[in-house]
């Protein structure tokens, strides 16, 4: 009986700690990947790369940077995808800055200007 009483506080603490961290354990992981419009591209041909976000939970905005090999690719433009506009939301979008020498597009940002969020996979930027 005394052993049962001494285990009870430990069990209560273990349950309490589990309940605190359970949402973190169960939270889905956000996945970001690139999808090219073509798998093989001839030298000098223009093609698109879509940045896809599959949110683990609802998001109302994103900031991303994309690196590239400047000896192989020359980015021409960055456009907003339908990630946050899909359901008619008003958004603020900035295409960021492109450093062609360093091979990076920095600070592409999109934010919903109203309440809500998106939790399904869609195109973030093109």
**pLDDT tens, 34-62?**
888 888 888 889 999 899 988 888 888 89
Length of the chain: 126
CA quadruple 111, 114, 119, 122: dihedral, nearest 10? -50
Asked whether the beta carbons of 50 and 32 are under 8 A apart, the reply is no
Q: What is the mean pLDDT of the chain?
A: 80
The domain limits of the chain are: 29-125
Return the biggest CA–CA distance within the chain.
Answer: 81
Instruction: Classify burial at 77, counting beta carbons within 10 Å of its beta carbon; exposed 0-12, middle 13-18, buried 19 or more.
Output: exposed
Domain 29-125 has CATH 2.40.50.140: no
CA 44 to chain centre: 30
Q: At 92, is the pLDDT very low, low, confident or very high (cuts 50, 70, 90)?
A: very high
């Amino acid at each position: 009986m005394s052993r049962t009483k001494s285990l009870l506080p430990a069990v209560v603490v273990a349950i309490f700690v589990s309940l605190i961290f359970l949402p973190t354990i169960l939270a889905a992981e956000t996945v970001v990947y690139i999808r090219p419009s073509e798998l093989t591209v001839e030298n000098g041909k223009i093609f698109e790369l879509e940045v896809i976000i599959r949110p683990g939970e609802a998001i109302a905005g994103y900031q991303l940077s994309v690196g590239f090999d400047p000896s192989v690719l020359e980015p021409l433009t960055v456009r907003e995808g339908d990630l946050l506009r899909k359901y008619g939301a008003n958004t603020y979008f900035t295409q960021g800055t492109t450093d062609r020498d360093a091979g990076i597009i920095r600070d592409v940002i999109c934010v919903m200007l109203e309440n809500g969020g998106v939790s399904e996979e869609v195109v973030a930027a093109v």
